[in-house]
Structure 1
Amino acid sequence: MPAFHHAGSVVLVLFAVFLPAAVVYSSLPTTLTLERAFPVNKRVELSELIARDRVRHRRILQGIVDFPVEGTYNPYTVGLYFTRVKLGTPPKEFFVQIDTGSDVLWVTCNPCNGCPKESGLNIALNFFDPSASSTASLVSCSDKICNLALQTADGGCSSQNSQCSYTFQYGDGSGTTGYYVSDMLSLEAVLGNSLVANSSAPIIFGCSNYQSGDLTKPDRAVDGIFGFGQHDLSVISQLSSRGITPKIFSHCLIGANSGGGVLVFGEIVEPNIVYSPLVPNQPHYNLNLQSIAVNGQILPIDPAVFATSSNRGTIIDSGTTLAYLAAEAYDPFVSAVSHMGTIS
């Protein structure tokens, strides 16, 4: 979601299961029998070898897939976080804003009405052209993935157009319209000891041919938005459903002066991380906020203000620059901070 405004919400860990490895010690010699995957006298078709290789790549990628993060929190400079994705064959790089409040990955396509051609972020903007990728294909209205889009009211089809299209409207009033494309997403899997395995996987993403509102402004323009919501159309859900990556992602931000950070498909394991459980069965990533304390003193705020209900609750949103509080919590918070002399 564009900076300064509400787009939705964040998840650090959706689901994780760890099975401890069994360790067995024995002084007796052990013999392991090795067998060939294919008998010597069996003719193996190239397609079968490719299929086995794809399965092997999927096993490799069941770990950490790394995306570098750029940008900062500062609303007076960048005010957003973005990463790079490579789409198509040959791969083409795009800068996309990280947004856990929306579901779909989309990038600007050629041609595009109202789309910025320059960016104040010192990045070169790109346009995706499906005809220039040897692996791209358009998603038709009869495709089952289009039915998923229609269920969210984001997708659309008409008698004049057989392509599966979409329209997204964000909380700041900006929006984008386009159509869905299937193509390859390049992945870099971290295997440990600084080893990286390059691979790719087919995904469905949006091809934007119209933008409005803040999306058209060049000062903080990027190539698109990388949605990390819970819907089946999100990239994290698509890759997880195929067994390529786990349905876990981590968004780690570096200190205020450095900016950036890292985004991974997988879990970052650190001993001092404190986890907060998410509220289940919510359209966004909701937390159970219980209270706010200033200088060690809990503020007199009714806990019901933070309760998750229809159009209420506390969400984490990587696409929103500022924190927003309901008036019942905002007023006592500002009053407490003001009495500390930290703001004018």
Structure 2
Amino acid sequence: MAAIFPAGVVIAAVLLPVAVVLCGFPATTMTLERAFPTNHGVQMSKLRARDTIRHGRALRSSDVVIDFPVGGTVNPYLVGLYFTRVQLGSPPREFYVQLDTGSDVLWVSCSSCSGCPQSSGLKIQLNSFDPGSSSTASFVSCSDQICSSGFQTADSSCSAQNQCIYKFQYGDGSGTSGNYVKDLLYFDTIVGESVDANSSASIVFGCSTSATGALVKSDRAVDGIFGFGQQEMSVISQLSSQGIAPKAFSHCLRGDDVGGGILVLGEIVDPNIVYSPLVPSQPHYNLNLHNITVNGQTLPIDPAVFTTSGSQGTIVDSGTTLAYLATDAYDPFINAITNSVSQYASPVVADGNQCFSTTSSIAEIFPEVSFNFAGGASMVLGPEEYLLQQGSVGGTALWCIGFQKSQSNDITILGDLVLKDKIVVYDLAGQRIGWANYDCSMSVNVSANTNGSGSVNTKPRYVSSSLRNEPLKPTSTAIVMCFLILIVKLPAFLANI
């Protein structure tokens, strides 16, 4: 989904590593950018609005690593939009597509699209895909196996012309529909220190012929969405089935104002990573959360609150800006932190959020929080991973708890607020997620083998971009929708969000 940007938005310089060859096989590269405003003037209510809309959306082994250079910042007050450039067709055309870890489909605007925007406030050149102009393009028939897999996840249906088609509806009322097309996706391969820009693979993607609602807004327009979900229709699944990429991806997102980071198809290897198994047969990246501790004390929350079922569970979602707690877990969490700092900070309720006015360093007075998962894996959060500075009162800094009460009552969502400054590994082959605190401005070890063997240290580099540091000119109403970074498919347990 496209995003709207408040005044002062710029595109950041891009800091990234190069994925180096493992066992003589090449790595491949794409460029990921992120746009963001350069001040901390975004109110928490706007961040919640962004997440509400975002949550409303209906969500073989290889020795190759594909890396996506990351730009921008994941600071929630520097809210942004992750997108990457992809090349499709013959001859290849370049498209800017939004990264989405929750949905399964890569789609771009089709040349015959009704309602698709023709220009973008992001200062990027929008393009449309014309199947008739690509010598390697073909429409996907309903009898194609990948179309059949889409039937099972409601991503596909069949037209009167026996063509595989789709229709997606978004939580804000916008939507898109079109045909599935099979054509070439291009990427750079890295062998040692050399780069070969002539690699390609045949994939299935969407060619949208209709767009409505926010998707037609030019001030936040991109060419489409790049889904990184687990189903067969996702690019990561298609590339891994062809032996081109491993069935795993990882990210490490910088939490400072400089931003940037790393996103790879492959496993980032670090001795400190702890893993927790994924809950099977879920449309999202669900984990079993056992309990939460504050200053080492387990909160009085019934463990059943975190049990995954049709209407509840705990989701790891890099597309959500803040973090959300199930209703019955929220008050014990807020109360424990408030009681812990009562002698050092003055409690203030601002914009419906529990905040604190203090002249002290938050690292010195606020407690350590730990989310404890199945498999003995704990995600330990320092104050900077659950607090957000929300201006000041009388010259004194005002810090607010960034965790919000879940609007669906029973869903706990761990978003960018807690995922920043961490290596996060989505091992789809092993059905687990791992994480470790890390300085994401540094290089990382990357392996295409999910057991971590044969890892190679990546080397940081900058990717030049015509977008970098160019200011954007949004509309005055832009701020409300700018928080829709990534979109997920709507599973049954998010139906009421």
- Structure 2 vs 1, CA of residues 203 and 290 (structure 1 numbering), >3 Å: closer, same or farther? same
Question: Residue 196 of structure 1 corresponds to which residue in structure 2?
Answer: 195
Number of paired residues? 293
- Structure 2 vs 1, CA of residues 315 and 119 (structure 1 numbering), >3 Å: closer, same or farther? same
CA contact (8 A) 1:103 1:229 kept: yes
1:17-53 C-alpha deviation (Å, 9 max, x unpaired): xxxxxxxxxxxxxxxxxxxxxxxxxxxxxxxxxxxxx
1:136 paired to 2:193? no
The one-letter code of the counterpart of 1:142 is: S
- Structure 2 vs 1, CA of residues 92 and 79 (structure 1 numbering), >3 Å: closer, same or farther? same
SS in 2 for 1:249: strand
- Comparing 301-310 with 70-79, greater Cα deviation is found at 70-79
CA contact (8 A) 1:66 1:190 kept: no
SS in 1 for 2:325: coil
- What is the CA distance between 1:249 and its match in structure 2? 1.3
SS in 1 for 2:323: coil
Could you tell me which runs of 5 or more consecutive residues in structure 2 were left unpaired when the two chains were aligned: 3-49, 342-355, 357-398, 402-497
- What is the CA distance between 1:297 and its match in structure 2? 4.3
SS in 2 for 1:148: helix
- Comparing 271-280 with 308-317, greater Cα deviation is found at 271-280
Alignment of 1:49-64 (within 5 A): 62-64=63-65
Fraction of identical pairs, as percent: 65
Question: Residue 266 of structure 2 corresponds to which residue in structure 1?
Answer: 266
Aligned equivalents of 2:135, 2:338: Cα separation in 1:
59
- Structure 2 vs 1, CA of residues 114 and 156 (structure 1 numbering), >3 Å: closer, same or farther? same
The one-letter code of the counterpart of 1:195 is: S
1:155-183 C-alpha deviation (Å, 9 max, x unpaired): 12233x33211011234443211110111
The one-letter code of the counterpart of 1:301 is: I
Aligned equivalents of 1:327, 1:253: Cα separation in 2:
28
Question: Residue 149 of structure 1 corresponds to which residue in structure 2?
Answer: 150
- What is the CA distance between 1:338 and its match in structure 2? 4.9
The one-letter code of the counterpart of 1:200 is: S
Could you tell me which runs of 5 or more consecutive residues in structure 1 were left unpaired when the two chains were aligned: 10-14, 17-60
CA contact (8 A) 1:65 1:190 kept: no
- What is the CA distance between 1:294 and its match in structure 2? 4.1
Rg comparison, structure with higher value: 1
Question: Residue 84 of structure 2 corresponds to which residue in structure 1?
Answer: 83
Aligned equivalents of 1:208, 1:77: Cα separation in 2:
30
Q: 1:343 aligns with which of 400, 420, 445?
A: 400
- Structure 2 vs 1, CA of residues 227 and 66 (structure 1 numbering), >3 Å: closer, same or farther? same
- What is the CA distance between 1:316 and its match in structure 2? 1.6
SS in 1 for 2:275: coil
Higher strand proportion, which one? 2
The one-letter code of the counterpart of 2:170 is: Y
Alignment of 1:180-191 (within 5 A): 180-191=180-191
- Structure 2 vs 1, CA of residues 174 and 274 (structure 1 numbering), >3 Å: closer, same or farther? farther
CA contact (8 A) 2:286 2:315 kept: yes
SS in 2 for 1:204: strand
Question: Residue 454 of structure 2 corresponds to which residue in structure 1?
Answer: none
Aligned equivalents of 1:321, 1:255: Cα separation in 2:
12
CA contact (8 A) 1:130 1:137 kept: yes
- Structure 2 vs 1, CA of residues 302 and 180 (structure 1 numbering), >3 Å: closer, same or farther? same
1:235-262 C-alpha deviation (Å, 9 max, x unpaired): 1111111212111111221233123323
- What is the CA distance between 1:223 and its match in structure 2? 1.5
Aligned equivalents of 1:329, 1:218: Cα separation in 2:
40
CA contact (8 A) 1:70 1:82 kept: no
The one-letter code of the counterpart of 1:66 is: D
1:244 paired to 2:244? yes
1:99-138 C-alpha deviation (Å, 9 max, x unpaired): 1211111111213223233333332222122222221111
- What is the CA distance between 1:184 and its match in structure 2? 0.5
- Comparing 167-176 with 279-288, greater Cα deviation is found at 167-176
* TM-score between the two structures when normalised by the length of structure 2: 0.54
The one-letter code of the counterpart of 2:313 is: G
CA contact (8 A) 1:105 1:205 kept: yes
- Structure 2 vs 1, CA of residues 162 and 117 (structure 1 numbering), >3 Å: closer, same or farther? same
CA contact (8 A) 2:159 2:165 kept: no
* TM-score between the two structures when normalised by the length of structure 1: 0.76
